[in-house]
A and B are shown apart, each in its own frame.
Chain A
Amino acid sequence: MMKNTITKSLSFLLLFLFLSFFVSALYSNSQKQQDHSIADVKKLPKLKTLIMGDSQCLRGIDPRVFDSAFNYASTGESIIVSYYKLKDLLETRTDIDQIVLTSTLGYFGESKSDYISKPYLWKEMIDFQEIAQIKNKHRLYLYKFLKTYFFAYKGMREEFFERHFADVPEEIPYYKGFRPKPTGYYLDVSQIADKQFKDKKLFDESLLIYLNMFLELAQKHGIQVTMVRMPVSQRYHDKVMSYITEDKLAERCLELKKKFADFVFLDYLNIYWGQEEEVLFDDTHLNEEAALSFSRLLVDSLPINHKSGAASAFFSFYAIKVESI
């Protein structure tokens, strides 16, 4: 009787995992089809500047002001995911000569330590076993591996329902990976600082290991890396500073410069203080107009100047429909 029960239970578990794997793969593929960036970055005829980072980068750096650039950032992306995305891309592309890697307050912080946003999009690139070994967190990354391959659809309710409660237009125009946010809003999201920084360390050493790996990989391929700290509002900054006593990112970057001579760090954290209403979509993201002017400023400050002819032209993404490259 008991043997029969165990056999049946295991058989059911196998059937469930099989179906779940199938549905998970279907969901992952449907999401990938909505997200053009992986396919598009590989199809580009020419790519000189690769832009990487999280949503602040995705919304804030306009690749059209560069000559042959692509914004390969994604929402919630950590340096771990950026590293594996770069590693995957460099297997096929050899024409990249500079990377703009954005960093935000908390980009190397504890809250990002084991966070992988939408791992199913990058599942073929991410080496879960390697992360587990580097971080010495085998159980956690086995769980993440199983979740990615068998339960990618978990929480899809958010996609299905909750996006429809957004206060602003959700259809985001897409151009060379860039997804700007509309102008005319300044949403208060400063409370996210609580989640990101309360009782948390500003630097997670395992993320700094990945930054090192990222820079080593870039160096091996002769690619110059510039780390850009993106602008935020003063109220968000002050809230963050109420949790952390010292902001030592610049100091840590100077240490890295000893090892990677051509590594550059540009800090734009406070450049828009006092004019937040005009330039920010919310406390941590630039709006469409500001993204353009910020990108123009950035392209002139980079060590390798790949400025496009269109850099000084006026264009509005919200005036056009979704456009492929």
Chain B
Amino acid sequence: MSWKLEYVFLIAASTLLDYLCALQMAKKQTKPERKPYLIASVIGNLGMLFAFKYFNFFSSCFSGPVLNVILPVGISFYTFQTLSYSIDVYRGKMKPETHLGRFALYVSFFPQLVAGPIERASRLLPQFKLEHDWNAVRARDGLVLMLWGLFRKVVVADNIALFVNSVFETDKEFGGLSILLAAYIFTFQVYLDFAAYSEIARGAAKVMGYDLMINFKRPYHATSLTDLWQRWHISLMTWLRDYIYVPMTSSKDSKWKKSRNLLLVFFLSGLWHGASWTFIVWGLLHGIFLVIENLTKTIRAQIYDHFFTTSSRLRFFIKNTITITILSVVGLFFRASSLDQGFSMLLRVFDFTTYRFDFGVQNYKLLIFCILVMALILIIEAVEERLSWEAMFLQSSLVFRWTIYSLMIMACFAFIAIKSQPFVYFQF
């Protein structure tokens, strides 16, 4: 992902296209009359996305020509955002925005332009119409969110990445145990990295008086894959659900048709993340596991009910461990530089004869750090499932809160990487 001045024209073109298409759709009474404008919007946005993100991938699959382009900043996010607007206007769910400046602000709103959350026009546009006076409490809340995001990114995610990088860059030297640990830690790194960006974006918007949607809801406490995808990258998953899965699926459909649609959605989710076979396999594997989970729902419930009560902590632990393990092991493909690397690492995870303590003396300290911070964050989130840290924290004394803020800022200074470490989702 990169930035060139010319790419302003791309975002401007996408903005103008959807702005005009929506205005035209509003003039038409029926869906068939609105359809040509919707098609124009879809072709325009997806065409742009295809040209800059996917053309080289598909072309190289057929040994075709390659375009000399780099992925424009935020293109996957703002094209989906504008598409959702056009589709909502087409469906008659919202009226078009007549003010071009306001609509352009919706498309290019800086806190979430680069890596989301993918906001819906029905949520964000009305907020732009309100007047926002200075509000110290809101600004403080926004800054605290930004600080928490920065802390999770700089202090935790970037440092646990050191262990992950060392394993993935020289994976041939490692056995299954190190790879499994690296897979768990990598998925946690992606979660913290992306959740941190979303918090910084939400915080920055909040300081200015705008509310962005929550993108992650403690996904490490999910007890099934279905539960997981309702907690992880919520803005993308709800987008795929509302604009792809739901229109294709009705409650009367057979479970096989629903499964096919689910597979398609996760295939597209993989493709959205990147134009590479590794992402496609990552998406498809998640789709397959979700289909299996749906098809075995009844029998699994019976087994759990036979051994555990509904409120059993062991039941939660087993279900949670299975979910996170699937997420992490499939995540190998998300991080792998090629399919070969992904499959080779996956095979070693299941080859228990390769299991040994081979992460090297230099990685021990990092590994202990990773385990400690992961445990700490998971405990914090576990408590948060029951009560609000935020409320408790805000009730504490001012000196205590300020000391904690100061220590968090100092930790960011202390642990900041010398080389810049961009957010993982900036590449999408």
Question: A residues within 8 Å of B by Cβ?
Answer: 1-2, 4-5, 8, 12, 15-16, 19-20, 23, 151, 153-158, 160-162, 164-166
Contacts and interface: CB of A to CB of B under 8 A. Distances in A.
B363 A153 contact: no
A32 B415 CA distance: 20
The residue in A1, A15, A162, A164 that gathers the most chain B C-beta atoms within 10 A of its C-beta is A164
B416 interface: yes
Given A164-B363, A166-B362, A154 B402 contact: no
Contacts of A15: 399, 402-403, 406
A16 B134 CA distance: 24
Contacts of B362: 164-166
Contact of B410 (A2, A153, A164): A153
B415 A19 contact: no
B365 A157 contact: no
Contact of A161 (B361, B365, B402, B409): B365
Given A15-B402, A162-B162, A4 B136 contact: yes
A115 to B, nearest CB: 14
A65 B405 CA distance: 53
Given A154-B413, A157-B417, 14 more contacts: A1-B136, A2-B134, A12-B405, A15-B399, A15-B402, A15-B406, A19-B403, A19-B407, A153-B410, A155-B413, A155-B418, A161-B365, A164-B361, A165-B166
A158 B418 contact: yes
A16 B413 contact: no
A14 B55 CA distance: 54
B405 A151 contact: no
Interface in B154-168: 159, 162, 166
A164 B366 contact: yes
30 contacts: A1-B134, A1-B136, A2-B134, A5-B139, A12-B405, A15-B399, A15-B402, A15-B403, A16-B402, A16-B405, A19-B406, A19-B410, A20-B406, A20-B410, A23-B410, A153-B413, A155-B413, A155-B414, A156-B414, A157-B159, A160-B415, A161-B162, A161-B365, A162-B162, A164-B361, A164-B362, A164-B365, A164-B366, A165-B166, A166-B362
A153 B416 CA distance: 10
Nearest to A157: B415
Contacts of A19: 403, 406-407, 410
A166 B136 CA distance: 48
B409 A16 contact: yes
B304 interface: no
Interface of B: 134, 136, 139, 159, 162, 166, 361-363, 365-366, 369, 399, 402-403, 405-407, 409-410, 413-418
Closest 9 CB pairs of A and B: A164-B362, A16-B406, A154-B413, A157-B415, A5-B136, A19-B406, A153-B414, A156-B414, A15-B402
Main secondary structure of the interface of A (DSSP, over half): helix
A31 B331 CA distance: 40
Contacts of A155: 413-414, 416, 418
Given A2-B134, A15-B402, A15-B403, A161 B413 contact: no
Contacts of B139: 5
A151 B413 contact: yes
A84 B417 CA distance: 30
A1 B134 CA distance: 9
Contacts of A5: 136, 139
Contacts of A151: 413
A98 B55 CA distance: 69
Nearest to A6: B136
Contacts of B369: 161
A19 B410 CA distance: 9
Nearest to A18: B406
Contacts of A2: 134
B416 A157 contact: yes
Contacts of A160: 415
Contacts of A20: 406, 410
A314 to B, nearest CB: 30
A165 to B, nearest CB: 6
A101 to B, nearest CB: 29
B136 to A, nearest CB: 5
Nearest to B409: A16
Nearest to A27: B414
B419 to A, nearest CB: 10
Contacts of B365: 161, 164
Nearest to A16: B406
Contacts of A156: 414-415
A152 to B, nearest CB: 10
Given A12-B402, A12-B405, A161 B159 contact: yes
A320 to B, nearest CB: 22
Nearest to B401: A12
B136 A154 contact: no
Nearest to A14: B402
